[in-house]
Structure 1
Amino acid sequence: MMRIIECVPNVSEGRRAEVLDAFIRLLQAQPGVLLLDYHADPDHNRTVFTLIGDGPALLSAMLALYEKAVELIDMRQHRGEHPRAGAVDVCPFVPIAGATMEDCVALARELGRQVAERFQIPVFLYAHAATREDRRELPNIRKGEFEGWFEKIKDPNWKPDFGPDRVHPTAGITVIGARPPLIAYNVNLGTADLAVADRIARAIRFSSGGFRNVQARGMKLEARQQVQVSMNLLDFRQTPIHRVFEVIRAEAERFGVPVVGSEIVGLVPLEAIAQAADFYLRLENFSIDQVLEWRIQQALAERPAPPAAPSPPTPGPRPRALRRVLMSLVTRAVEARLEDADILEWLRRFRWPDGQVRCPHCGSAQVRAYRSSSRRRVVFTYRCRSCRRRFNDKTGTVFAQTRLPMARWLAAALLIELGAGRRSLQRYLGVDRATARRMWNGLTRDARLRQAMVRYMESALA
């Protein structure tokens, strides 16, 4: 059985598109490793990458990532809502298939040793790789953040597991470990009052008397004028997503604050989504074995491999040429078949899933809608009764202040998912260089929106 290990490095950069592009291209080029997902958050100024591979390939890929991060990130200039202590802030390994937790612990310790030797970065081991009980929890190590670690490291109790007894001047420290799968889950609240998010976070996290497997804190989303309860769910089987969500919603109601949405950062096990479906649909005698994709996966895993048969090579189009044809066809199909009115209707549902439009400037739900239409499109504009400001469906999104058809934005989202860069957007979408750069930067930073756009487009074209 193939050995598969997941690696989820968190890098302290979520805003500079050229730096993110360098990281993405570096990881995509690593042999024996697949980059499954990346989520860049400009408010947190942080990007979470998800990769899979075997031990040696992941070790090589992570050393390359550390080298690039030391080159491109200066923690002295870093600002963001999320707590952080280093350029590569945390790097956990997770056993997925054919690998044990002991394999991941050994991999974490070998990576820590080499990172310390090559880059002179202090390395702290956490979770199952921890060498001391007080270092098992990540928040304990990260407390004080980059700025506070220059004094903290002088304490003999905080001697690094590997590396020098001094903080790297630009890369800070790093935390490396091995853990089971966790879910990074955030719930956004319809208020700009950070105190509300802080109080709800205290109510649900284990360190304050809440759920055993929940780490949580309140954060401010400046661009959206909202606050967020940001969480790590350490064991979704013991503390499922829906249970945490319902408690947050109940706590928010006590303050008269609505839940305006939630997000999963990175990837999530199918079983966790099935748990939520079971709860909200009131399913009787439901089992994960009833999920079609799960059963197909299990059947394929149990099926014996067919004997290998050599086959002569067949001529065909070159991969690069085939990619160009695919991108051109995608762009034409999207713009020919999808109307702006339909896409804007989807955007309204995506932004306000409960049907209640909220002001992007102040978060108020006291909004008056104005509808106008022409031969090709229907446009909604709004006026907030609280702050008196006007806005539309695009305000506060990457689509704001642009006259491009929404179908072209959808095509851009899919092209980026297929690996297109800024020049490819310029070529296939027929836009100028500045517009292509703005589209690529905006959609790359907001992976949740981009992936939702692709899912909508696929269903609409189908």
Structure 2
Amino acid sequence: MPKQMLVCCTLFISESRNPAALESIERAAKLFPEVPIINNFPDDSYNRVRYTLVSHFTTDPSNPSPLRNAVFSMVEAALDAIDLELHSGTHPRIGVVDHICFHPLSQASLDQAAHLANSVAADIGLKLGVPVFLYGAADERGRTLDSIRRELGYYKPNAIGNQWSGGVEPESLQLEPDIGPSQAARSKGVAIVGATQWVATYNVPISSTDIAGVRRIARQVSSRGGGLASVEAIALAHGEDTIEVACNLLDPSRVGADQVQLEVERLAREEGMKVGNGYFTDLSPEEIIENYLKLGFLD
């Protein structure tokens, strides 16, 4: 294990079909070579991309964290290159930069990850004029990502085919943001920024067009529906004849992907549906650290 403190950032951008926009975002990250993009996971159906960055954490106030600077640079590029009013996809979103989360890795603490989250949130809200909502260790109240999303109407499709399309309606901001203006620009939306321990994302495909049936499965899998502890799940259309049970594993050491897969298969049998093999949308923390070290970033 490395001796330096490492912090990871997962950054979700509402775009995957515009190569020029993605190139601009990735070019912004390359301005900070000490902050590599360890994983890049675009999804065309969802029209969404997940970037995973990692870097060392510095406690020197005169030397701002390179991770903070790299993330802000990518956010700024995304807001310049993407118009949410032109966006459509089968994954919910409420902003061009929909979600940012910082996770402590080697030697780093959750408080240090939260410090970075708060710094980036302030930059986005005050310098870029985007309303920002805080969650997890970055929020004094300890609000969850899910609770904020629900209050903002995040999970309600607004277009035919269970799609999310167009800009954010001003009236959708039922909550007062923690940082930044109280109204969101339709073309930019809002950002949700937090800090937590590692969250694994695991999606299970089901061969079906019955969105109501897969929603029943997703609810029964989730802890909210009385299913598996520390699991959040949502049913999302993914192509013409597939619906995914997209899961956040909030404590993957407690409830892992194998348990989720088996439970989805059990519930799908009751619905008469065929289930495919699930997949992670990111590397594990151990793989992230290993890949970072392979790039030569070691004190």
Report Cα offsets for 1:384-428 as digits up to 9, x if no partner: xxxxxxxxxxxxxxxxxxxxxxxxxxxxxxxxxxxxxxxxxxxxx
**In 2, distance between residues paired with 1:21 and 1:255?**
42
Query: Of the candidates 62, 66, 69, which is equivalent to residue 78 of structure 2?
Result: 69
CA distance in 2: counterparts of 1:24 and 1:53, whole angstroms: 16
Q: Residue 197 of structure 2 aligns with which residue?
A: 180
In structure 1, what is the Cα distance between the partners aligned to 2:147 and 2:234?
Answer: 11
Check the 8 A contact 1:85/1:149 in 2, yes or no.
no
Counterparts of 2:80 and 2:145, CA distance in 1: 28
SS of 1:267's equivalent? coil
Residue 149 of structure 1: how far off its partner (Å): 5.5
Divergent runs of 4+, >6 A = none
Separation in 2 of the partners of 1:35 and 1:88?
Answer: 16
Correspondence list, 1:77-226, <5 A: 77-133=86-142, 135-141=143-149, 143-145=152-154, 150-153=170-173, 155=174, 158-222=175-239, 224-226=240-242
Q: 2 CA distance for matches of 1:139 and 1:225?
A: 30
Q: Distance in 2 between matches of 1:264 and 1:32?
A: 26
- One-letter amino acid of the counterpart of residue 165, structure 1: S
What secondary structure is seen at the aligned counterpart in 2 of 1:261?
coil
Identity of paired residues, percent?
28
**SS, match of residue 130 in structure 2:** coil
Normalized against structure 2, the TM-score is what? Answer: 0.84
How far apart are the structure 2 equivalents of 1:218 and 1:194?
7
**Cα distance, 1:13 vs structure 2:** 0.3
The one of the two structures with greater contact order (alpha-carbon pairs below 8 A, sep at least 6) is 2
What number of residue pairs does the alignment pair up? 269
2:255 matched residue in structure 1: 239
Aligned counterpart, 1:367: none
Deviations 1:60-103 (A, max 9, x none): 00111111111111111111111111111111000001210000
- Asked if the contact 2:25–2:75 (Cα under 8 Å) also holds between the matched residues in 1, the reply is no
* CA distance in structure 2 between the partners assigned to 1:211 and 1:137 by the alignment: 18
Paired with 2:222 and 2:148, the residues of 1 have a C-alpha distance of: 14
Q: Higher Cα Rg: structure 1 or 2?
A: 1
Between the aligned partners of 1:119 and 1:195, the Cα distance in structure 2 is 39
Q: Which amino acid aligns with 2:193?
A: I
Question: In structure 2, what is the equivalent of residue 262 of structure 1?
Answer: 278
- After superposition, the CA RMSD in angstroms is 2.1
Please show how residues 309-458 of structure 1 align to structure 2 within 5 Å. Answer: none
Q: Quick one: which of 47, 50, 61 aligns to 1:48?
A: 50
The answer to whether the 8 A contact 1:127-1:138 is kept is: no
TM-score (norm 1): 0.55
**142-151 or 82-91, larger mean C-alpha shift:** 142-151
The match for 1:34 is: 36
SS at match of 1:207: helix
Q: How many angstroms does 1:169 deviate by?
A: 3.1
| Equivalent residue number for residue 18 of structure 2 | 16
Which amino acid letter does the alignment assign opposite residue 87 of structure 2? H
Please state whether the residue corresponding to 2:95 is helix, strand or coil.
Answer: coil
The whole-number CA distance in structure 2 between the counterparts of 1:175 and 1:18 is 25
1:227 paired to 2:243: yes
1:277-330 deviation digits (Å, cap 9, x = unpaired): xxxxxxxxxxxxxxxxx9xx9xxxxxxx9xxxxxxxxxxxxxxxxxxxxxxxxx
CA contact (8 A) 2:131 2:183 kept: yes
Once the two structures are TM-superposed, the CA of residue 258 in structure 1 deviates from its matched residue by 1.4
Q: Which has the higher strand share?
A: 2
SS of aligned partner of 2:88: coil
1:98 & 1:226 partners in 2: Cα distance? 41
Give the deviation of 1:241 after TM superposition.
Answer: 1.2
2:265 — aligned with what? Answer: 249
- The question of whether the paired residues in 2 share the 8 Å contact of 1:120 and 1:168 is answered with no
Q: Deviations over 1:34-60 (max 9, x none)?
A: 111100001111000011013411110
**Per residue, is there more helix in 1 or in 2?**
1
Task: Give the distance between the partners of 1:54 and 1:13, measured in 2 at CA.
Answer: 28
Unaligned runs of 5+ in 1: 272-293, 298-304, 306-462
**3-state SS, counterpart of residue 125 of structure 2:** helix
Which whole-Å deviations, capped at 9, do the CAs of 1:128-186 have from their partners, x for residues lacking one? 212334x3233533642385662143x4xx21111111113311110111011111100
Q: What amino acid is the match of 1:121?
A: V
Letter of the 2:145 counterpart? E
